Amino acid sequence: MLLLNTEFASVGKRVLIRNGARIECIRTPDCADPCLTIGDHTNIEQNVHIICRSRMTIGKRVTITGGCVIVDVNHEYEDVGDPRKIGNRVELVDRPVEIGDDCFIGMHSIILPGVKLGKYCIVGAASVVTRDAPDYSVVAGSPARVVKRYDSGVRKWVEAGTGSLTR
């Protein structure tokens, strides 16, 4: 397990972080300090990689299954003449990530910068989430799109048809 710059992280009560997880708060000199918040009773399974350069909030009772990647930053690659490795070029754009309470993130999924998942969202395995998802929705695919929504009137998950993400 790797925990980097934990002074920029706030971890709730009864949070489980499994072996092999990598949680990094990246501090860059030109930006405000990173802020990672992980809510109570959240599970972070094996080989999850979380990178927070600006702000990331993971709600309460969230399950992040094995092999997932959640990032709020990208690496710049525009200037091919820049002698630095791409891995050392960090975008200075603020694109926070928010994962609402009671979400489930399926194995090997990727959540990219600027994404907000509402409460009770389910992310299908191996999905790439590039856009926001509303409360009570199931997203899947690459790029992920809403495939189901919870209908409280009938108390069931219903097909979303050709629904798209909110942004």
108 is annotated as an active-site residue:
no
Among 41, 49, 75, 108, the active-site one is 75
Contact 1, 19 (CB under 8 A): yes
Q: In 109-148, which positions are buried (b, 16+ CB within 10 angstroms) versus exposed (e)?
A: bbbbbbbbbbbbbbbbebbbbbbbbbebbbbbeeebbbbb
The token duo for 12 is 């709730």
The token duo for 35 is 């802020």
Q: Which of 153, 99, 88 has the alpha carbon at shortest distance from 122?
A: 99
Catalytic positions are 75
